[in-house]
Amino acid sequence: MIDLHTHSLLSDGELVPSELARRAYVKGYRVIGISDHADLTSFERIVESVLKITADSYWGIKIIPGIELTHIPASILGKVIEKVRMMGIRYVIVHGETITEPVEEGTNRAAIEGGCDILAHPGLIKEEDVKRAAEKGVLLEISARKGHSLGNGRVACLSKRFGAKLIFGSDAHSPSDLVDEGFAKRVVIGAGLEEEDFYIMQKNAEDLIRKEHYGIHNR
């Protein structure tokens, strides 16, 4: 399992980053991305903290430092994406427009144009934004998170139609949210996709890790 969308006590998760990584390792993960929620008041603190735990591998699991920019005004989102990259963060998730939270309309497009790597659970995404994500190489998430997952079908359908790449994310906030490969496959199938699509999503995650290693981003 490669899962690049998880949360620790640095934001609203239940575990400190090291325990989150340990539990993911026991669950069968080989790569975990810790991508805590951050807004204008907290992104500097979170980046500084998450970079400490991710300096090395722990217990045979690779830990990648990410961030999920959340409820940042669409008008300045691109600038914040650029800022966290300059601070050393390895990949950027943006909290997309979902049916369960009042995310500002236009956030999906601003995230894509701003060069994020992953647009999380963007269940209310417009067709033209899916097309733009395909052009920019932004990964659209199929989410295992309760509530957010209700939009998976739309994301899957439009991504297939317009050629946008997908990625699976648990959006884990607690130990019970970490999923094994079998459950992840069921989430993907439940979105109207096939088991093969899960493996493509894992390959997309692996490709993203390789891109961030060489400093290649969706500019």
pLDDT of residue 79: 98
Q: Which residues contact 111 (CB under 8 A, 6 or more apart)?
A: 69, 77, 81, 94, 96, 119, 138
Mean pLDDT for the stretch of residues 41-68: 88
pLDDT digits (tens, 9 = 90+) for 99-151: 999 999 999 999 999 999 999 999 999 999 999 999 999 999 999 999 999 99
Domain map (residue ranges) of the chain: 2-213
Q: What's the mean pLDDT in 184-193?
A: 98
Give the pLDDT of residue 214.
Answer: 47
Residue 57: band (very low, low, confident or very high) from pLDDT cuts 50, 70, 90: low
- Give the bridge partners for 91, in sequence order: 66
Mean pLDDT of the chain: 94
CA distance 178 to 48: 24
Q: What global pTM score does this model have? A: 0.95
pLDDT of residue 211: 81
Q: Centre a 10 Å sphere on the Cβ of residue 9 and count the other Cβ atoms it contains.
A: 14
Considering the four listed CATH numbers 3.90.230.10, 3.40.50.2300, 3.90.1150.10, 3.20.20.140, the one that applies to the domain covering 2-213 is 3.20.20.140
- Judged against a pLDDT cut of 70, whether residue 56 lies above it is answered with no
Average of pLDDT values for 172-192?
A: 97
